[in-house]
Amino acid sequence: MILVLEDGRTFQGTSFGADGTAFGEMVFNTSMSGYQEILTDPSYAGQIVCMTYPLIGNYGVNEEDIESRRPWAEGFVVREASRIVSNWRSTESLGSYLIRNNIVGIEHIDTRALVRHIRDKGAMRAGLSTIDLDPKALLEQVLDSPDMKNRELASAVTVKEAFEYKAETRPVGSVPSANEKYHVVAFDFGVKTNSLREFAKFGCRLTVVPSDTTAKEVLALEPDGIFLSNGPGDPASMSKVIEEIKELAASETPIFGICLGHQLIGSAFGGETYKLKFGHRGGNQPIKDLTTGRIEITAHNHGFAVDPASLPADVEVTHINLNDQTVAGLRHKTLPVFSVQYHPESAPGPHDSEYLFERFITLLSDSQNREG
> Looking at residue 233, what is its pLDDT?
97
Can you name the residues that pair with 182 across neighbouring β-strands? 204
Cβ proximity of 190 and 216 under 8 Å:
no
Query: Which of these, 105, 110, 108, 61, lies nearest to 87 by C-alpha position?
Result: 61
The residue-averaged pLDDT of 83-96 equals 94
Say how far residue 187 (Cα) sits from the centre of its chain: 13
Inform me whether the pLDDT recorded for 240 exceeds 70. yes
> Looking at residue 349, what is its pLDDT?
65
Inform me whether the pLDDT recorded for 173 exceeds 90. no
- What is the rounded CA–CA span in Å between residue 97 and residue 91? 10
SS3 of residue 161 by DSSP = coil
Question: Could you read off the pLDDT of 111-121 as tens digits, one per residue?
Answer: 999 999 999 99
Q: Is the pTM of this model over 0.85?
A: yes
130: left (phi over 0), alpha (psi -120 to 50) or beta: alpha
Question: Could you read off the pLDDT of 251-288 as tens digits, one per residue?
Answer: 999 999 999 999 999 999 999 999 999 999 998 899 99
Can you name the residues that pair with 337 across neighbouring β-strands? 255
| CATH superfamily of this structure's domain 154-371 | Class I glutamine amidotransferase (GATase) domain (3.40.50.880)
Of 88-97, 272-281, 312-321, 344-353, which range is least confident? 344-353
| C-alpha dihedral sign at 298, 190, 341, 273 | positive
357 half-sphere exposure, CB direction, 13 A CA radius: 23
pLDDT-derived band at 352 (thresholds 50, 70, 90) equals confident
Query: Which of these, 56, 53, 50, lies nearest to 9 by C-alpha position?
Result: 50
> Looking at residue 166, what is its pLDDT?
81
Q: Would you list the domain boundaries of the chain?
A: 2-144, 154-371
Mean pLDDT across the chain: 93
Provide the annotated active-site residues: 259, 343, 345
- What is the rounded CA–CA span in Å between residue 47 and residue 231? 12
CATH topology of domain 2-144: Glucose Oxidase; domain 1 (3.50.30)
> Are 2-144 and 154-371 in the same CATH fold?
no
State the amino acid at position 82 in one-letter form. Answer: S
203 half-sphere exposure, CB direction, 13 A CA radius: 15
Neighbours of 119 (CB within 10 A): 12
**Residues 6+ away with beta carbon under 8 Å from 283:** 30, 31, 32, 34, 297, 298, 299, 346, 348
Longest dimension (CA), the chain: 68
Rg (CA), the chain: 20
The number of helix segments (H) and strand segments (E) in the chain equals: 10, 20
User: Percent of the chain beyond pLDDT 70?
Assistant: 95
Question: Could you read off the pLDDT of 126-150 as tens digits, one per residue?
Answer: 999 999 999 999 999 999 999 999 9
- What is the rounded CA–CA span in Å between residue 106 and residue 14? 5
State the amino acid at position 141 in one-letter form. Answer: Q
- What is the rounded CA–CA span in Å between residue 26 and residue 4? 10
The residue-averaged pLDDT of 205-211 equals 96
